[in-house]
Amino acid sequence: MSDVRVRFCPSPTGNPHVGMVRTALFNWAFARHHGGTFVFRIEDTDAARDSEDSYRMLLDALRWLGLDWDEGPEVGGAYGPYRQSERMDIYADVAQRLVDSGHAYPCYCTAEELEVAREEAKKAGRTPGYAGTCRHMSPQDRDQRIAEGRQPVIRFAMPDQDWTWDDLVRGELTFGRDHVPDYVIVRANGDPLYTLVNPVDDALMRITHVLRGEDLLSSTPRQIAMYAALADIGVGDGITPRFGHLPYVMGEGNRKLSKRDPESALLMYRDEGYLPEALLNYLALLGWSMGEDREFFSPRQMAEAFDITRVSPNPARFDLKKCTAINGDWMRSLAASDFVERIIPFLVRDAVIADPPTARQRQVLNEAAPLVQERMETLAQSADMLGFLFADPADFAIQPDQSVADDVSQQVLTAAMESLSPLEAWDSSTIEAALRTALIDGLSLKPKIAFGAVRIAVTGRRVSPPLFESMQILGREESLRRLQLARTT
């Protein structure tokens, strides 16, 4: 299917969220799998809610994730512009043509009249929805409403039929005609609504497949009808896209993950040091399976294997712990040099190293990276894990909640100093042998107690990279200085 054209069309409102990214990923993978085109367009016709900052964040998010688009903002393409705010003349023209052709009509009903009609429908046991009051209005009644100063909306005239389609995810679906009343496509002030601009852009951009969230399922009959009307008036090339409705992403309490949920915020993952490959890997598992119980794969591998029929219609629960675990797996899979380059921005951000790192700092990073790569789950943990290696002697301090002031710890530190000071070689194996002889054999202490006090004195915390290797990297002078400082405080 080399002619496949899919689109990702978010609104620039607020921060990007992981449910939106999952939709982008599935569209991207579908396009790449079939050698098709991934269109990125911005639905920014709601001036009250859209913002330029959100627009920039969307672009930055997709770039950070590596979801490259073939057509769209800053890339261009044959069907631009790709921001709906720059296409308003197109929508106004199409809306008028729909009215002129009888596919749409002006509606003068007030909000109060519509509410009364809804209540009457409920009392009568009918499905609430617009009753078509203005659809067959006489010219005299229309003139009277105009004389009253009413500003009409534009409604699409839904054909009187049931609606059935073969959903790519859910199979055959049918909506009865009573559940799909005439709907508004243009506000009274002339602003076009999603119900118009989305299918118009799909038609003009030759979109062949629409993969979107389950929450939009009920609007599909309206869009199918609109595609037919657009084809009738010569807008686009008559394609009715095939739909696939992706399952909900659920949060805590088995409710739909919303923008208000902390774990939904995409930028949180970037700031906390999740790898984009890992985040996409996890999001792919929310509703899709590669098969053979395989859960570790790259975006490119996902695209090669992507089969829309393997998308489940059932809701998928977002599990932050599993997402973090997959991120840890990805961290461990990186080449050491790649790992170093990825932690540098976080060490710079947290003022641990210079920007750019000095030659000495790079040397320390190259030596220390293998010690922490197996232990870290996010890049943001690098400052806590490695900060002690870069601390200025005047600034180094043991964490306030740690203590080596008790008698046993002081005895350990004295014995450690006495065993390490005479050493001629300063490498991890020599350091370990000296400390084991002095503390475990000499003081008859368990390793946890013996080495725990030394670890706190040297690194400032109870949890750190391997102690002996860390002391080797830190060097004889600074290691002994820190032991002495802890012994005298």
What digits encode the pLDDT tens for the residues 298-348?
A: 999 999 999 999 999 999 999 999 999 999 999 999 999 999 999 999 999
Residues of CATH 3.40.50.620 domain(s) within the chain? Answer: 5-83+249-321, 87-246
**CATH class label, 334-390:** mainly alpha
| pLDDT tier, 2 (very low <50, low <70, confident <90, very high otherwise) | low
Residues of CATH 1.10.8.70 domain(s) within the chain? Answer: 334-390
Is the pLDDT assigned to residue 260 strictly greater than 90?
Answer: no
Mean pLDDT within 435-443? 95
CATH number of 407-487: 1.10.10.350
Q: Which residue of the set 122, 123, 259, 322 is catalytic?
A: 259
The rounded mean pLDDT for the chain is 94
Our answer to whether residue 259 is catalytic in this structure is: yes
Helices (H), 421-446: 428-435
DSSP state of 256: B
Residues of CATH 1.10.10.350 domain(s) within the chain? Answer: 407-487
Does the domain made of 87-246 have the CATH classification 3.30.70.270? no
| pLDDT tier, 101 (very low <50, low <70, confident <90, very high otherwise) | very high
Mean pLDDT within 176-205? 96
Length of the chain: 489
Is the pLDDT assigned to residue 209 strictly greater than 60?
Answer: yes
Is the pLDDT assigned to residue 206 strictly greater than 90?
Answer: yes
Whether 225 contacts 232, CB under 8 Å: no
Is the pLDDT assigned to residue 1 strictly greater than 60?
Answer: no
Mean pLDDT within 379-387? 96
The pair phi, psi for residue 58, each rounded to 5°, is -65, -45
Asked which of 126-130, 222-226, 312-316 is least confident by mean pLDDT, the reply is 126-130
Whether 80 contacts 128, CB under 8 Å: no
- Domain spanning 5-83+249-321: which superfamily? HUPs (3.40.50.620)
Question: For tokens 């993978």, what's the residue?
Answer: 29
Query: At a CB cut-off of 8 Å and minimum separation 6, what does 6 contact?
Result: 27, 30, 31, 36, 37, 38, 39, 207, 208, 209, 210, 211
Between strands 37-40 and 5-8, the pairing is parallel
What integer pLDDT is reported at residue 127 of this predicted model?
82
| pLDDT tier, 372 (very low <50, low <70, confident <90, very high otherwise) | very high
